[in-house]
Chains A and B, each alone.
Chain A
Amino acid sequence: MKLLYFAWLRARIGIAEEEVALPPQVRDVAGLLAWLRARGGGHAEALQNLAIVRVAVNQDYVGLDHPVRDRDEIAIFPPVTGG
């Protein structure tokens, strides 16, 4: 699956996007975030506080229980501040 990071999450993780193979135990957004955090480093630092993290699957906002699939485009970012 394709992972995209924006704003300070991108800065802390150190990359704007990456392609990862979906681990078999990961079924939903919560599982994906836990798996990313367990990778340590910038991922662990950026995903410490999930209250300030938003997730979009295939360009729609989703909750933590939304399922994830290997062909998904998943974006992880802070609350938006446009306008």
Chain B
Amino acid sequence: MIRVQREDFDTGIELDRLAAGNHRVGGIASFIGLVRDMPLIGGEGGGESGGGRVSALTLEHYPGMTEKKLAEIELEAHRRWPLDTSLIIHRYGRLEPGDRIVLVATASPHREAALAACNFLIDWLKTDAPFWKSEETPQGERWVEARTADDAAKERWRSIPDPTGR
């Protein structure tokens, strides 16, 4: 299941609902992404000392393509691992430190598949889902730059043998 929304979500309710009534599920793995209270480092805002802090961020997305890419990523996880069900919720709009940004949850008979698929989903989501963050700083708005570490995190799934043998 995919949800792209401005509103917050209740993690407990979402996780409880995911496998409610489905007794094949032996475990649920989840990842919750939060807005960090970050010192400004480098860029136009100056050095870490005296650069101030990020007071909020705004997430922009590409309606339509976002849902399409998330559905493709989810389908790929279900192809690779024996999942019973999964959930991706990603928020957009203005968020403050401590706010929830994203929830990824996977349910499977066994924990290995649930944990690996959850890890896979968040790695792929970060490089394939069309979202962009801009930060509010004392020096004004600043667009977050893509991290090469995120590309590397996605790429490692290519070198790990596909459990389906394909």
Contact = CB atoms under 8 A, between A and B. Distances in A.
Given A4-B62, A7-B60, A80 B131 contact: yes
A6 B130 contact: yes
B2 to A, nearest CB: 13
A78 B131 CA distance: 10
A6 B102 CA distance: 20
Contacts of B134: 7-8
Contacts of A77: 62, 130, 132
Interface in B60-78: 60-62, 64-65, 68-69
A59 B65 CA distance: 5
Contacts of A60: 68
A78 B130 CA distance: 9
B137 to A, nearest CB: 14
B143 A8 contact: yes
Contacts, number: 72
Given A56-B65, A82-B59, A7 B132 contact: yes
Contact of B132 (A4, A56, A59, A82): A82
A76 to B, nearest CB: 11
A75 interface: yes
Interface string A50-83: 0000001001110000000000000101111111
B33 interface: yes
Contacts of B61: 82
A80 B130 contact: yes
A7 B137 CA distance: 16
Contacts of A6: 60, 62, 130, 132
15 contacts: A6-B132, A7-B60, A7-B143, A56-B130, A59-B65, A77-B132, A80-B128, A80-B131, A80-B132, A82-B59, A82-B102, A82-B131, A82-B133, A83-B33, A83-B129
Q: Nearest 3 CB-CB pairs, A to B?
A: A82-B131, A79-B146, A83-B126
Given A75-B65, A77-B130, 13 more contacts: A6-B60, A11-B143, A59-B65, A78-B132, A78-B146, A80-B129, A80-B130, A81-B133, A81-B146, A82-B61, A82-B130, A83-B33, A83-B101
